[in-house]
Amino acid sequence: MKREDASDLLAFLAVARERSFTRAAAKLGMTQSALSQIIRSLEDRIGLRLLNRTTRSVTPTQAGERLFLSIGPKFNEMDAELAALSELRERPAGTIRFTATEYAATEILLPALRKILPQYPEIHVEVIIDYGLTNIVAQQVDAGIRPGELVAKDMIAVRVSPDLRMAVIGSPSYFAGRKRPRTPQDLTDHNCLNLRLPTHGGSLYAWEFEKNGREVNVRVEGQLVFNSAGLLLEGALRGFGLAYLTEGHVQPYVSRGQLVRVLSDWCPPFSGYHLYYPSRRQVSPAFSLIVDALRFRGQVG
């Protein structure tokens, strides 16, 4: 079917349905004279009169009625299918890839997904645990979760947690017979569990402290090095040494007496976790749902 034939047939259906050139022209957004010309052109091409016109009414001829009953349902089916496709486009679906630290994935991302995924089975999420500052564009990742101070300025950033604090912790068995550190410099006398980060060129992460405006970075030493916060926590629980982790990560163990916290007065709050993604990213309904579930509203959870 030629494009002009389809357009002319739609014009015919409008007139046959409305029984009026005036009403059909208004619905089609054209002048009555233009619509009359389209119908005359269609009738000339097929060699049959399709509409009977009087000053008071417009009715289909026998041929017009047959054409109306034949093609009308087909065009209705096409309209319904196009509407269904439009709904499919708006329905939350697709795969979203996130990069996050273990703690951010466990305590921030997963609780949000728990609210969404059961309701939207067509949404799929891939979580990549990474402690580096992933180039989410180059790595084809949709979004990342990092402390706000680490997010690049050209990214859209959405706060997803309250402010954070770091904590130095060790097990009661580790502290048995050892002096607890009172200043960051005292850590040089302790067996500390190190974290190796790809962001720092593979070097060991320096522990950062601040008190009364004085900033101190300490490169601690110890027998164990990990590239996972989960293993740092496990090492501390098993008494291998001191670990430096986010307060939220260790607080349940401190509350139960499984870990002891030290140097808390040297660990002030800093910017909380933010979800970040490129400003030019086209936001899908699925992504919007997750962002809204993650958005921090002044309470945890």
Cα 115 to Cα 52, 66, 118, 141, 153, distances in angstroms: 60, 54, 7, 22, 30
Does the residue 80 lie in any domain? Answer: no
Q: What is the pLDDT of residue 114?
A: 93
Phi, psi of 100 (to 5 degrees): -160, 160
Residue pair 196/203 in contact (Cβ under 8 Å)? The answer is yes
Contact 43, 54 (CB under 8 A): no
Beta 273-278 vs 51-53: how paired, if at all?
unpaired
Residue 43: per-residue pLDDT: 87
- How far is the C-alpha of 162 from the C-alpha of 299, rounded, in Å? 8
Residues 121 and 151 in one domain: yes
Q: What is the pLDDT averaged over residues 68-72?
A: 84
pLDDT digit string (tens) for 245-287? 999 999 999 999 999 999 999 999 988 999 999 876 677 889 9
Packed helices 62-90 and 3-18: angle between N→C axes, nearest 10 degrees: 110
Number of independent structural domains in the chain:
3
Spatial separation of the C-alpha atoms in residues 188 and 221, rounded to whole Å: 7
DSSP 8-state class, residue 281:
P
Q: Which of 294, 300, 293, 199 is nearest to 247 (CA)?
A: 300
Of 26, 43, 73, the last residue of a domain is 73
Give tens-digit pLDDT for 174-233.
Answer: 999 899 999 999 999 999 999 887 655 567 888 999 999 899 999 999 999 998 889 999
Record the tokens describing residue 181, joined without a space: 């550190």
Where residue 299 falls among pLDDT bands split at 50, 70, 90? very low
My answer on whether 158 and 187 are in the same domain is: no
Q: Where are the alpha helices (DSSP H) in the chain?
A: 3-18, 21-28, 32-46, 62-90, 102-104, 110-116, 172-175, 229-237, 247-255, 285-294
The predicted structure's pLDDT at residue 301: 36
pLDDT band at residue 27 using 50, 70 and 90 as cut-offs: confident
In angstroms, the CA 148 to CA 177 distance is 39
Concatenating the DSSP letter of every residue in 223-264 gives S-EES-HHHHHHHHHTTS-BEEEEHHHHHHHHHTTSSEEE-G
Please answer whether residues 290 and 124 qualify as being in contact, where contact means their C-beta atoms are separated by less than 8 angstroms: no
Q: What is the pLDDT of residues 102-155, one digit of tens each?
A: 899 999 999 999 999 999 999 999 999 887 766 777 778 899 999 888 888 888
**Residue 266 within any structural domain of the chain:** yes
CATH assignment at residue 239: 3.40.190.290
For residue 224, tell me if it sits in a domain.
Answer: yes
Residue 180 structural domain:
164-270
Q: Considering the entire predicted model, what is its pTM? A: 0.65
Residues 132, 281: one domain? yes
Per-residue pLDDT at 90 exceeds 70: no
Check whether residue 24 and residue 108 sit in a common domain. Answer: no
* 189 and 138 in a common domain: no
Residue 86, pLDDT score: 61
Contact 133, 146 (CB under 8 A): yes
Instruction: State the CB neighbour count (10 A cutoff) for residue 113.
Output: 19
Q: How many whole angstroms separate alpha carbon 299 and alpha carbon 87?
A: 34
